[in-house]
Structure 1
Amino acid sequence: MSLLAATVLALAGGGAVLAQDALAGKQAMIVGMHYVVPPFVGGTKVRTPEAVDTALAEALAEGMRARLVAVSTTQVAATAADPAAPRASLIALEPQQSLPATLVTIPTGYKAGAMAIMRTDTDITSWEQLKGRTVCLSEGSRYVGKMASQYGAIEMVKRAPADSLLALRIGSCDAAVHDNVMLEQLLTFPEWKKFSAQLRPSSVSPLVFAVPADDAATVAATKRLAAAWKADSYLAKLNQQRVRDIAFEVYLDQNVPDCH
Structure 2
Amino acid sequence: MKSYLLRLMMVALMAPASVLAAPLQAVLVGDYRPLRAAEAEQISEGFEAQLLARLGTVLDSEMTLVGAKGQADLRAGALESGVAYYRSEVAALTSSEGGPFEWSDLAGETFCVTIGSPHASVVTARFGGIARSYPSAAQALIGLKLGECQAVVDDRLLLDKIARLPEWRRYDRLLPALPDSELALRIEAGDAALQRRVEQAVSGWLEDGQLADLTQHWVDEVAFQAYVLADTLDCH
1:222 to 198, 201, 205: 198
Cα distance, 1:26–1:48 mapped onto 2, change above 3 Å: closer
Question: Does the Cα contact within 8 Å between 1:135 and 1:173 map onto a contact in 2?
Answer: yes
Instruction: Compare 174-183 and 59-68 and name the one that shifted more.
Output: 59-68
Any residues of structure 2 matched to 1:102-181 within 5 Å, and which? 105-108=82-85, 110-181=86-157
- Structure 1 Cα separation of the partners of residues 113 and 125 of structure 2: 14
Aligned alpha-carbon RMSD (Å): 2.9
Instruction: Name the SS for the 1:256 alignment partner.
Output: helix
SS in 2 for 1:207: strand
Task: Name the CA shift for 1:70/1:57 in 2 (closer, same or farther; >3 Å).
Answer: farther
TM-aligned CA deviation for residue 107 of structure 1: 3.0
In structure 1, the gaps of 5 or more residues are 1-18, 38-43, 77-84, 100-104
Alpha-carbon deviation of 1:134?
0.9
Q: State the distance in 1 between where 2:65 and 2:119 align.
A: 25
1:36: Cα distance to partner?
7.3
Name the structure with the higher helix share.
Answer: 2
TM (norm. structure 2) is 0.75
2:17 to 20, 32, 37: 20
* Residue type of the alignment partner of 1:92: A
Q: Which has the larger radius of gyration?
A: 2
Distance apart, 1:94 and its partner CA: 4.6
Task: Find the counterpart in structure 2 of residue 256 from structure 1.
Answer: 233
Matches within 5 A, 1:23-34: 24-34=20-30
Q: What is the one-letter code of the residue matched to 2:187? A: F
AA partner of residue 91 (structure 1)? R
Does structure 2 retain, via aligned residues, the 8 Å contact 1:118–1:198? yes
Structure 2 residue identity aligned to 1:210 = E
TM-score by length of 1: 0.69
How many angstroms does 1:256 deviate by? 3.1
Contact 1:185–1:240 (Cα < 8 Å) also in 2: no
Give the CA deviation at 1:229. Answer: 0.8
State how far apart, in whole Å, the 2-side matches of 1:186 and 1:62 are.
32
Q: How many residues align?
A: 209
* Percent sequence identity over aligned pairs: 21
| Cα displacement (A) at 1:154 | 1.3
Aligned to 2:8: none
Letter in 2 for 1:201: L
Shift of 1:129: 1.8
Superposed CA offset, 1:9-28 (max 9, x none): xxxxxxxxxx938x945223
- How far did residue 68 of structure 1 move? 2.2
1:67 matched residue in structure 2: 63
- Structure 2, unmatched stretches of 5+, are 1-15
8 Å CA contact 2:144, 2:152 repeated in 1: yes
Residue in 1 that maps onto 2:6: none
| SS of structure 1 residue aligned to 2:233 | coil
- Once the two structures are TM-superposed, the CA of residue 146 in structure 1 deviates from its matched residue by 3.0
Query: For the residues of structure 2 that align with 1:135 and 1:181, how far apart are their CA atoms?
Result: 18
- Answering whether residue 204 of structure 2 is matched by residue 209 of structure 1, we say no
Structure 1 pair 48/231, CA: closer, same or farther in 2 (3 Å)? farther
Tell me the residue number matched to 2:75. 91
Which consecutive aligned stretches of 4+ in structure 1 deviate over 3 angstroms post-superposition? 44-49, 51-55
* One-letter amino acid of the structure 2 residue matched with residue 90 of structure 1: L
